[in-house]
Amino acid sequence: MTVKIQPLTQEDLGILWELSTHHTEWKKFDAPYFEDGDFSKNAFLETFRLAAEHERWKGIWIDGVLSGLVSYYFDDGRLKRWIEMGIVIYDERLWSRGYGREALKLWTTELFERFDLPRLGLTTWSGNPRMVRAARKVGFQLEGQIRKVRFWQGEYYDSVRLGVLREEWFSRD
């Protein structure tokens, strides 16, 4: 298994569009409670192009094949002291094989190397237990669980906040 995080090209954006529309199971776990709807292809390509140019989003390559993406944003806007990150592998046949954990490790290391910040965070929901497990396995700590605030398909779920400190990350085994 070889997992790499790399910048995206314009050609890669078209591939990501195809992956994200061909494989739809991932949408059930990527904050579906916001009901954002689907991007048009043009909106998708423009949004991704801008994010890719600033390397806020990068591609995940599994054994040389573009399979997903990692992302980050500043939760505190222009202050730029609070990063939240994300990860998605579009093809559900690649889930639960350690690829996401490896991508998360690579992305966390890269973000700590790029930004002089003491903490990185990841927010998900209790309806995505694989993400919670992956983050915990690589060293993220549960920092908060806001109970029953995410409503989806007639049921309430918890918002789950995880984080890791720089010193924890670089001192792990």
Each residue of 126-170: pLDDT tens digit? 999 999 999 999 999 999 999 999 988 899 999 999 999 999 999
CA distances from 40 to 22, 37, 47, 51 (A): 14, 10, 10, 16
Position of tokens 């954006």?
13
| 45 pLDDT higher than 90 | no
Each residue of 12-29: pLDDT tens digit? 888 888 888 876 777 776
Q: Which CATH class is domain 3-171?
A: alpha beta
Claim: this prediction has a pTM higher than 0.75: yes
The predicted pLDDT at position 60 comes to 97
SS3 127: coil
